[in-house]
Amino acid sequence: MLLEIWKYLRGYVIINVSGFSPERFINLCANRGIYIWNVKSVNNGFNLYISAKGFKLIRPLVKKTGCKVRITKKIGLPFRFLIFRKRKIFLFGMIICMAIVFLLSLFIWKIDIEGNSMYTDEHLIKFLNTQSHFVGMWKKDVKCSELEKILLKNYGNINWVTCEMTGTKLLIQIEEGRNNIKIEDLSKSCDILSNKKGVIVSIVTRTGSPKVVKGDVVEEGDVLVSGTLEIKELEEIKAIEFTHSDADIYMKTIYPYHDEVNLKYVNKIYTNNKKKDKALKILNFKLNLLKPRIKYSNYDKITTCDEICLFDNFYLPISTHKTSYEEYKLIEETYTNEQATNIINENMTRYLKELEDSKKQIVNNEIEIIESTDKIVADGIIVVIEKIGEKKYFDENERRQGYEEYFREDDSNTP
């Protein structure tokens, strides 16, 4: 098998030897070390296979033996290259093509971002551009670990980043986390203040001294649970201690609601006139194939962009853009009262559902829908019970000083 491959690589010829003494010719060939095989006797002489190299050496032998030699067939790789002699440009073109593809594979042609919902792809890609990572950069210039650090630092909501480079694609995977859980320092003392105005519905205190009870009306900023523990003996304060307050406080508050819908509105109706355009974009050059003249005054331009990629990860900087221009007309229309009322109701239901989803309990809604000549208005309040409480840390020493004076006074009072 290997010998066959070797023979093919070197090239061989099938020749027909006829004449005076072909046997002598064969003997001479053998003596000179010229490789011959598959010798077959035919009518006038011999058909034999001879190596291409050997064939060049048989000229004097042919003369010596007085034979006639004719080539029947040429087989082998070297003979293929001779065909290319006339098609040099083809070969040249093939080499250039391979070189270009190889060269293109040294750049990054696509940046892919996965796992992001809060930040858009474009936003993150713009940020990467400012960090000198853009489509069309050298692959060796990509610094993955630095990118990861910078992304984590600049975006508080990103919890985990990996950057990977496969083929000509830069892949960035992100895991976002909402509201990083603050690690509370339970040794630091704090009060709990109210952040809204309302009526206390229930209060369960775990640590700290509560300053309000169920039914109290509180304003924004009032202290609900204090971190100062006054240790009393018969109505007299004997000692002060400070603690980290912790409590569950539920309050009834009011959310105002206002919504308006105009009866007259402008509607966007698509007339079915469309025009299509196709463009090819290589690197940064854009070639438009068609160029329709657009006579519409109002239209939507919708473009889809497809990038060419071989083998899944090997993107090339060639993309096709298909644009379609769709005309629309702006028509003034009026809602009927019913339609407008429906819209208002839908909006209201949606808002109420949002409130419920964020764990607020709706007690009552007093929303009035008022119809007037040119609009319908929904106005009113929603009464909600929600959990409130803002922790505010204080400085122990300052507070203590406040009580010092009290103690000193007290001391001076006692006989």
Partner 1 sequence: MTISKKKKEKNNDKKFHIAEILEVPRDVALGDSIITLTGKREMLIENYKGIVEYDEQFLKVKTKNGLIELEGNHFLITYLTDEEIKITGQIKKIKY
31 binds partner 1 (CB under 8 A): yes
Beta strands in 195-313 (DSSP E): 198-207, 209-210, 217-218, 223-226, 228-233, 236-242, 246-262, 264-282, 285-288, 299-310
> Among 41-49, 74-82, 284-292, 330-338, which window interacts with partner 1 (CB under 8 A)?
41-49
Least distance (Å) between residue 24 CB and partner 1: 8
- CB-based contact 171:108 (threshold 8 Å): no
To partner 1, the closest distance from the beta carbon of 23 in angstroms equals 5
Q: How far apart are CA 198 and CA 271, in angstroms?
A: 54
User: In this structure, which amino acid lies at residue 189?
Assistant: S
26 binds partner 1 (CB under 8 A): yes
Size of the site for partner 1 (CB under 8 A): 16
Residue of 113, 220, 249 lying closest to 176 (CA atoms): 113
Q: Considering beta carbons, is residue 33 or 415 the nearer one to partner 1?
A: 33
Q: Does 69 bind partner 1 (CB under 8 A)?
A: no
Task: Say which DSSP state 140 is in.
Answer: G
- Which helix (H) or strand (E) segment is 83 a member of? helix 77-84
Asked whether position 180 contacts partner 1 by CB under 8 A, the answer is no
Q: How far apart are CA 302 and CA 276, in angstroms?
A: 10
Q: What are the phi and psi torsion angles at 209 (to 5°)?
A: -110, 120
Listing DSSP states for 325-388 in one string gives: EEEEEEEEEE--HHHHHHHHHHHHHHHHHHHHHTT-EEEEEEEEEEE-SSEEEEEEEEEEEEEE
Q: Give the range of 27-35, 151-159, 360-368, 380-388 binding partner 1 by CB under 8 A.
A: 27-35
Strands 169-176 and 110-114: parallel
How far, in Å, are 138, 281, 305, 309, 407 from residue 313 at the CA level?
16, 19, 17, 7, 77
Q: Which residue, 51 or 189, is less far from partner 1 as judged by CB?
A: 51
The answer to whether 38 contacts partner 1 (rule: CB under 8 A) is: yes
Answer yes or no whether residue 61 interacts with partner 1 by CB under 8 A: no
Could you give the CA distance from residue 331 to residue 400 in angstroms, rounded to a whole number?
Answer: 72
Based on CB atoms, which residue is closest to partner 1, 22 or 208? 22
Instruction: Please report whether residue 23 would count as binding partner 1 according to CB under 8 A.
Output: yes
37 binds partner 1 (CB under 8 A): yes
Residue 45 has phi, psi (to 5 degrees) of -170, -140
Q: What is the closest distance, in whole angstroms, from the C-beta atom of residue 43 to partner 1 in the complex?
A: 10
- Select from 26-34, 124-132, 238-246, 384-392 the region that touches partner 1 (CB under 8 A): 26-34
Q: Which of 4, 6, 40, 413 binds partner 1 (CB under 8 A)?
A: 40
Token couple for 345: 């109701």
Q: 15 near 29, Cβ under 8 Å?
A: no
State in angstroms the smallest separation of the CB of 37 from partner 1: 4
User: How far apart are CB 21 and partner 1 at their closest, in Å?
Assistant: 10
Indicate which single residue of 8, 9, 20, 41 sits in contact with partner 1 (rule: CB under 8 A).
Answer: 41
Q: Which of 8, 20, 27, 288 binds partner 1 (CB under 8 A)?
A: 27
Of 31, 32, 36, 33, the C-alpha closest to 15 is 36
Residue 20 interacting with partner 1 (CB under 8 A):
no
Q: Which of 30, 99, 237, 287 binds partner 1 (CB under 8 A)?
A: 30
The residue from 18, 35, 209, 342 that contacts partner 1 (CB under 8 A) is 35
Kindly tell me which residue out of 14, 18, 39, 254 binds partner 1, with binding defined by CB under 8 A. 39
* CA 376/CA 98 separation, integer angstroms: 69
- What is the smallest separation between the CB atom of 28 and partner 1, expressed in angstroms? 9
To partner 1, the closest distance from the beta carbon of 29 in angstroms equals 8
130 near partner 1, rule: CB under 8 A: no
Q: Which stretch binds partner 1 (CB under 8 A): 12-20, 32-40, 84-92, 370-378?
A: 32-40
Cβ atoms of 28 and 16 closer than 8 Å: no
Q: How is residue 165 written in tokens?
A: 């480079």
Does residue 12 belong to the site contacting partner 1 (CB under 8 A)?
Answer: no
> Which of 12, 46, 109, 257 contacts partner 1 by CB under 8 A?
46
Tell me the window of 30-38, 160-168, 218-226, 288-296 that interacts with partner 1 (CB under 8 A). Answer: 30-38
- Residues near partner 1 (CB under 8 A) are 22-23, 26-27, 30-31, 33, 35-41, 46, 48
